[in-house]
Amino acid sequence: MEAATLECTSSSSEKRYFPESLDSSDGDEEGVLACEDLELNPFDGLPYSSRYYKLLKEREDLPIWKEKYSFMEKLLQSQIVIVSGDAKCGKSSQVPQWCAEYCLSVHYQHGGVVCTQVHKPTAVQLALRVADEMDVNIGHEVGYVIPFENCCTSETILRYCTDDMLQREMMSNPFLGSYGVIILDDIHERSIATDVLLGLLKDVLIARPELKLIINSSPHLINKLSSYYGNVPLIQVKNKHPVEVVYLSGAQKESFESILRLIFEIHHSGEKGDIVVFLACEQDIEKAYEIVCQEGSNLNPDLGELVVVPLYPKEKCALFKPNDEMEKRCPVYQRRVVLTASSGESLICSNTVKFVIDVGVERRKVYNPRIRADSLVTQPISQSQAETRKQLLGTSPSGKLFCLYSEEYASRDMRPLKPAEMQEASLTSTVLFMKRVDIAGLGHCDFMNRPAPESLMQALEDLDYLAALDNDGNLSEFGIIMSEFPLDPQLSKSILASCEFDCVDEMLTIAAMVTAPNCFSHLPRGAEEAALSCWKMFLHPDGDHFTLINIYKAYQDTILNAASEHCVEKWCHDYFLNCSALRTAEVIRAELLEIIKRIELPYTEPAFGSEENTLNIKKALLSGYFMQIARDVDGSGNYLMLTHKQVAQLHPLSCYSVCGRMPEWVLFHKFSIAHSNYIRIASEIAPELFMQLAPQYYFSNLPPSESKDILQQVLDHLSPISTTKKEQKMCDKCPEATEQRCTVQ
């Protein structure tokens, strides 16, 4: 940015609240007036548009706006500033813009601004909103970076990114030298990546005294943050309007009936405003969506249209206020009913929400390191989550919150704070990352909540089994290559093994498909039989991993032969496939292929369909997923895990379930302990193949079981030559084997 544009930091419609030492003008009154007459945008040197001034008035009405001068003063004087504010107070959109103004005033000598978000949709939509407010181009002055999508250039001043992407950036740029200000937003979500960044940035701040760190959080976490970072400046912001809270004791037992009754009572009352309903899980969203749509179609049209919006937190979607153009196209009043679940609070960015219905419970994934599986646990939300949902109404003068629980339940059964994800999730990927940054001297991380020792030990054990660690417990050459892939370490290992087994093309497709959202569409009631009939054409007799390859190949063939994008979408719709998920898989696969080329791993032409290729794909999968094997113990589809005594069934959409053939041994991608213990994405494997590819000391550590005895018999029948070859090739403890494997990969 040219120095001349730095003087243009004020206009007739906006007072720039810079302390004197931040003002880059030279005091020449005539020069300043001339600059004001031009009304130039200091970030791109172009005149402001009329829309800029319209949005500026909206910004000035935000609760945080009156804190701008105080914030800029503290930013200038301190290295760390904490901003405490309720949801929708404006901290996520305004604070990054003020930091961009600060960086502009010091000529970007220390870098630009990066602002992290926990959710992908929020990062994208905030970047779009802020680019609009700053009157600049998205992808140039303001951009975003989310997994497998980069909308930035080297000239980007302010970038929004997911916290995991900033964490990955530290692998190549440990001290984040591209940034002068780092903003960690949504700290109260307590994601693993955010907690890791909080710890690592302590060391980075010491190494870079010029770096500024801004922490945006809800008020509930302030005491914990203050004790973690010490006595640092604090900006506190509150929303303008009180919220009426109605506790409906006893409604939780019949939550669906209560939700329906409330929705239709609100709609019949004639009070305008959207409704947000917080449910326990995605299954509840689907069930409620079906019921509300069915009942809503029978309503009196004079009341206005009831539009039901299912909002799944894991998918790339968010709810924003309809723009003026949309409202012109829809002159008839529409009331949106948004159905969402835990973590959906951050995706609601609309000022049209006037009613919130909260069931007060959530279904959480809690990882059990002993059995290497997630358990789905239904439990009360935290008091901080309940308060965040209430704050969604803070900008509405007549907002109303309906709690389907009693006040006593809130104080007695709800924990004060949301649990940190680090204490409830698998840490294998996190430990691999920490081992990688330890190369740069940042491996000793002071976490705000220490992870469970058992989870850490299990993560280290898994990385050792995957040959990612050397004999000293540091990353091996193989582990360094694995860390280059933004994937689960087991999947990274399978990709690297596919280089040896000449099936990289197919393995990249599998990796992309299992990483992207589910490629099968949510089915409306009555469509199950038609969908199953369509999906049968993609089924592969060798397993679900191969079925995913068939679906992706059919999607690619459709793209090649389709006349337009609409034809591709119609094809997906006709076959009950999720077009958005398949597009995401295409993007993921392209990035994985780019990584393969960048680190110069061998890549062979696809040979999908041949018998040898099928065997090679299974070998590659087993190289990474030998810890996820199950055996049908009674011939009726009851699969016992090899590593523990949990019993599960194949998912109803598995190719084996559809065809009615249950293989004895399967390798699976995912398993969760819930009401229905389903194995998802499974493929048949031979026990001989498992014994040839699994590390010998992993097999030795398996608990005693009938399955282990069968495998021992298989091992005893293998020829001595095969056993010797296997030990030479697969023993991860052997330095020579590790060196050979890295050379091959």
> What is the side-by-side order of every strand in the sheet holding 400-403?
244-247, 400-403, 353-358, 274-278, 334-340, 305-310
**What DSSP character marks residue 241?**
S
- Does pLDDT of 156 surpass 80? yes
**What DSSP character marks residue 5?**
G
Average pLDDT over residues 675-679: 82
Structure tokens at 598: 């960048």
pLDDT value, residue 496:
96
Nearest to 112 by CA among 120, 104, 122: 104
- Does pLDDT of 344 surpass 80? no
**What DSSP character marks residue 121?**
H
Position 369 in a domain: yes
Amino acid at 311: L
Higher pLDDT, 438 or 196: 196
Higher pLDDT, 260 or 504: 504
pLDDT value, residue 542:
94
Q: How many residues belong to the chain? A: 745
Structure tokens at 163: 């916290």
Q: Return d(Cα 339, Cα 360) in angstroms, integer.
A: 14
Structure tokens at 312: 């799944």
Identify the weakest region by mean pLDDT among 77-91, 143-157, 310-324.
Answer: 310-324
Higher pLDDT, 224 or 158: 158
3-state SS track over 136-169: CCECCCEEEEECCEEECCCCCCEEEEEHHHHHHH
- Does pLDDT of 731 surpass 50? no
Identify the weakest region by mean pLDDT among 55-64, 144-153, 366-375, 502-511.
Answer: 366-375
Among 237, 258, 288, identify where a domain stops.
Answer: 237
Residue pLDDT, tens place only, 257-296:
888 889 989 988 888 889 999 998 888 888 888 888 888 7
Residue pLDDT, tens place only, 566-583:
999 999 999 999 999 999
**What DSSP character marks residue 518?**
P
Residues 68, 159, 312, 678, CA torsion sign: negative
Q: How many CA atoms lie within 13 A of 372 on its CB side?
A: 22
Higher pLDDT, 291 or 60: 60
Average pLDDT over residues 397-403: 86
Residues 374, 378, 384, 389, CA torsion sign: positive
Residue pLDDT, tens place only, 690-727:
999 999 889 988 889 999 999 999 988 875 544 444 44
Q: Residues 193, 258: one domain?
A: no
Q: How many CA atoms lie within 13 A of 84 on its CB side?
A: 13
Taking CA atoms, 724 is separated from 319, 435, 507, 611, 730, in Å, by 59, 32, 28, 26, 10
Average pLDDT over residues 542-546: 96
Position 647 in a domain: yes
Position 306 in a domain: yes
Residue pLDDT, tens place only, 622-665:
999 999 999 999 988 999 998 888 899 999 889 999 888 999 99
Q: Residues 258, 124: one domain?
A: no
Q: Residues 213, 289: one domain?
A: no
Structural domain count, the chain: 3
Share of the chain above pLDDT 70, in %: 86
Q: Give me the helix-helix angle, 453-465 and 489-500, nearest 10°.
A: 0
Residue pLDDT, tens place only, 324-342:
443 443 444 688 899 988 7
Q: Residues 211, 254: one domain?
A: no
Q: Residues 212, 192: one domain?
A: yes
Among 188, 220, 237, identify where a domain stops.
Answer: 237
- Contact status, residue 572 vs residue 516, Cβ threshold 8 Å: no
Phi, psi values for residue 567, rounded to 5°: -65, -40
Q: Residues 163, 104: one domain?
A: yes
Higher pLDDT, 606 or 349: 606
Position 531 in a domain: no
Q: Residues 123, 223: one domain?
A: yes
- Contact status, residue 25 vs residue 7, Cβ threshold 8 Å: yes
Q: Residues 151, 77: one domain?
A: yes
pLDDT value, residue 15:
38
Higher pLDDT, 736 or 604: 604
In DSSP notation, 58-94 reads HHHTSGGGGGHHHHHHHHHH-SEEEEEE-TTSSHHHH
pLDDT value, residue 33:
43
Structure tokens at 500: 């040896």
Please list the residues that pair with 143 across neighbouring strands: 159
Average pLDDT over residues 341-350: 68
- Average pLDDT of the chain is 85
Q: Residues 171, 279: one domain?
A: no
Among 199, 222, 237, identify where a domain stops.
Answer: 237
Q: Residues 212, 250: one domain?
A: no
Neighbours of 369 (CB within 10 A): 19
pLDDT value, residue 395:
65
- Does pLDDT of 244 surpass 80? yes
Q: Residue 37: which pLDDT band, with cuts at 50, 70 and 90?
A: low
pLDDT value, residue 676:
77
Identify the weakest region by mean pLDDT among 1-5, 217-221, 552-556.
Answer: 1-5
- C-alpha dihedral (287, 291, 296, 299), degrees to nearest 10: -160
| Domain CATH code at residue 94 | 3.40.50.300
Q: Residues 255, 122: one domain?
A: no
Position 646 in a domain: yes
Position 365 in a domain: yes
pLDDT value, residue 349:
62
- Contact status, residue 369 vs residue 213, Cβ threshold 8 Å: no
Q: Return d(Cα 155, Cα 140) in angstroms, integer.
A: 6
- Does pLDDT of 351 surpass 80? no
Find where tokens 């076959």 sit: 575
* Strand bridging mode 647-650 / 678-684: parallel
Residue 518's contacts (CB-CB under 8 Å, 6 or more residues apart) are 578, 581
Residue pLDDT, tens place only, 449-472:
888 889 999 999 999 999 999 999
Q: Residue 350 is part of which domain span? A: 244-318+332-419
Taking CA atoms, 22 is separated from 99, 152, 181, 183, 683, in Å, by 12, 27, 15, 20, 62
Q: Return d(Cα 45, Cα 136) in angstroms, integer.
A: 10
* Alpha helix segments (H runs only) across 173-216: 192-207
